Amino acid sequence: MKINENTLLEGQKVVLVPYNEEHVPRYHEWMKSPELQQLTASEPLSLEQEYDMQRSWRDDNDKCTFIILDKQRWADPSVEEEQCMLGDVNIFLTDPTDLSVAELEIMIAEPSYRGRGVGKEVTSMMMSYGVAKLGIKKFQAKIGLDNQVSVAMFKKLRFNEVSVCDVFREVTLELTVDESVRATLQDDVVYMKERDYRQTCSSRHELFSQ
Ligand SMILES: CC(C)(COP(=O)(O)OP(=O)(O)OC[C@H]1O[C@@H](n2cnc3c(N)ncnc32)[C@H](O)[C@@H]1OP(=O)(O)O)[C@@H](O)C(=O)NCCC(=O)NCCS
C-alpha cells in the first residue's frame, strides 16, 4: 500500500517506518530462524523472493506494512537504520468486498525486545493508524494454538476468541471497533505522533529534543 510510503509513526519505545528495500537483508536474516517461521507460520524465502515480497507489500492495495525500530537507537544518527530494526507489523485487508476488515500481524523478531511492552505498544499504534487512516472497523488475528504469548497479548488488547481451527492448529481472535474501542485506542496511544518519514530521517536526533 502506498498510503504509508512516507509515514513515520513515533511512539514511546518505537518508531514505525515504511518497509523499504534497505530493510530486506536484515528481515531475510530474521526469517531464517525456525522459531520465527513456526511462530509466524511463514515459509523461508530466498533473498530475491524477499525483495519481491517487500515490493508487493509496498505496492499491493490490500497490505500496509511498517518496520519497527528501537526509538532510542534510531535517535542516534550514527547508527544505521538497519541496525535499529526489531520487527514488523502488518495490516492485510482480507475481504475485497469489505475493506473495513483487517487481519493484523506482528513480529518482534529480536528476542531481547520481547516481554518489554513493545508488542502491545506497536499493536495499539497500528490499530489506531488503521482506524484513523484506513477506516478499519474490525480487526482479526490468526494465531498458532501453541503461541500463548501472542494470544495473551491480543486478549489484553480486548480481542475475543471467535473460533479455533484444529486442522490448522490456529485460533482466530477479533475486535470490533465501536465508539468505546475507538476512544480507548486513542487514549492508549495518545502520545503517538505522525511525521514525514524522509524529512525526519535527516534530523533523527531532534526526536528527543522536541
Ligand atoms: C507475541 C509478541 C508480538 C508479543 O510482543 P511482546 O513485546 O513480547 O509483548 P509485550 O511485552 O508487549 O506484552 C504484551 C502482553 O503479552 C503477554 N505476554 C508477554 N510476554 C509473555 C510471556 N512471556 N508469557 C505470557 N504472556 C506474555 C502479556 O499478556 C502481556 O501483557 P502485560 O505485560 O500487560 O501482562 C512477540 O513476543 C513476538 O513477536 N513473538 C514472536 C513472533 C510472534 O509470535 N508473532 C505473533 C504471530 S501472530
Domain with residue 137: its CATH number is 3.40.630.30
Mean pLDDT value of segment 168-190: 95
Total number of domains in the chain? 1
Q: CB-hemisphere CA count at 13 Å for 55?
A: 6
CA–centroid distance, 116 to ligand 1, in Å, is: 8
Residue 98, domain member (yes or no): yes
Let me know how long the chain is. 210
Q: What is the distance between the alpha carbons of residues 91 and 66, in angstroms, rounded to a whole number?
A: 9
**92 domain residue, yes or no:** yes
Please tell me the pTM assigned to this model: 0.96
120 close to ligand 1 (CB < 6 Angstrom): yes
Distance between CA atoms of 114 and 186, rounded to whole angstroms? 24
**Interval 69-106: pLDDT, tens:** 999 999 998 999 999 999 999 999 999 999 999 999 99
> Is the pLDDT at 210 greater than 70, yes or no?
no
CB atoms under 10 Å from CB of 183, counted, come to: 10
Query: 210 in a domain, yes or no?
Result: no
The whole domain housing 143 covers 7-194
What is the percent of the chain where pLDDT is above 70?
99
Nearest CA to ligand 1 atom 27: 149
* Grid cell digits, residue 78: 550514527
18 lines ligand 1 (CB under 6 A): no
Per DSSP, the three-state class of 197 is helix
Q: Ligand 1: which of 150, 153, 169 to mutate, judged by most atoms within 8 Å of the beta carbon? A: 153
